[in-house]
């Protein structure tokens, strides 16, 4: 028995929350519990996420994007269905982007990106009032989304990922986008943001 039973010490906390230049947008670093059999990586804990807008996720989605260079986004929901999202990469590597759409925010229309991958154990916690999208940096990227609100197609919004007003510096030439994402108009000068 001593050869097969190993004691695992469980570190607390399981998450480290790192600030970004955009208020409320956080990088979440997950802590692995590892031994020679492999590892455990906690994806969410209501106690540790308390007060961050995602106390009780109501929907969990998983996506697969097959080809490197593809862009999905930039998506958001209008109030009263605005949502906080926690984005994690389970396989592959992505350039994950959030754009601040909050009316009156000092960082209105500013964007921030993080590389998310299985290896770096990072997630992006995106508050309500932000648009989200990503570009795949490898083939066969799988993402896991936790949402604070249900998907509401009637209040869904989107930004064109190539909008010069946003000026997102995608690291690769965009190889493909959905017709829906390509069809989003560029922002007009009258766009003043989302009132939460």
Q: Is 75 a catalytic residue?
A: yes
Q: Which residues contact 149 (CB under 8 A, 6 or more apart)?
A: 58, 59, 77, 81, 82, 83, 84, 128
Measure the CA–CA gap between 188 and 49, rounded to whole angstroms: 36
**Which candidate in 14, 75, 81, 132 is catalytic?**
75
Measure the CA–CA gap between 15 and 76, rounded to whole angstroms: 25
Q: Is 14 a catalytic residue?
A: no
Q: If you count them, how many residues does the chain have? A: 196
Q: Which of 128, 115, 113, 119 is nearest to 193 (CA)?
A: 128
CB 106 within 8 A of CB 188: no
Measure the CA–CA gap between 147 and 134, rounded to whole angstroms: 16
Neighbours of 55 (CB within 10 A): 12
**Which candidate in 14, 39, 112, 145 is catalytic?**
145
Positions marked catalytic: 75, 145
């Amino acid at each position: 028995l001593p050869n097969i039973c190993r004691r695992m010490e469980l570190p607390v906390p399981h998450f480290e929350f790192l600030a970004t230049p955009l208020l409320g947008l956080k990088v979440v670093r997950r802590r692995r519990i590892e031994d020679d059999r492999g590892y455990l990586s906690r994806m969410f804990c209501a106690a540790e996420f308390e007060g961050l807008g995602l106390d009780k996720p109501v929907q969990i989605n998983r996506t697969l994007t097959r080809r490197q260079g593809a862009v999905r986004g930039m998506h958001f929901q209008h109030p009263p269905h605005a949502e906080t999202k926690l984005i994690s990469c389970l396989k592959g590597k992505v350039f994950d982007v959030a754009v601040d759409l909050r009316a009156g925010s000092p960082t209105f229309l500013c964007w921030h990106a993080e590389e998310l991958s299985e290896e770096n154990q990072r997630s992006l916690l995106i508050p309500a009032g932000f648009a989200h999208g990503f570009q795949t940096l490898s083939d066969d990227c799988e993402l896991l989304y936790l949402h604070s609100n249900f998907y509401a197609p009637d209040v869904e919004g989107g930004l064109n990922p190539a909008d010069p007003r946003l000026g997102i510096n995608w690291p690769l030439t965009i190889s493909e986008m959905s017709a829906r994402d390509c069809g989003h108009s560029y922002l007009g000068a009258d766009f003043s943001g989302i009132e939460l």
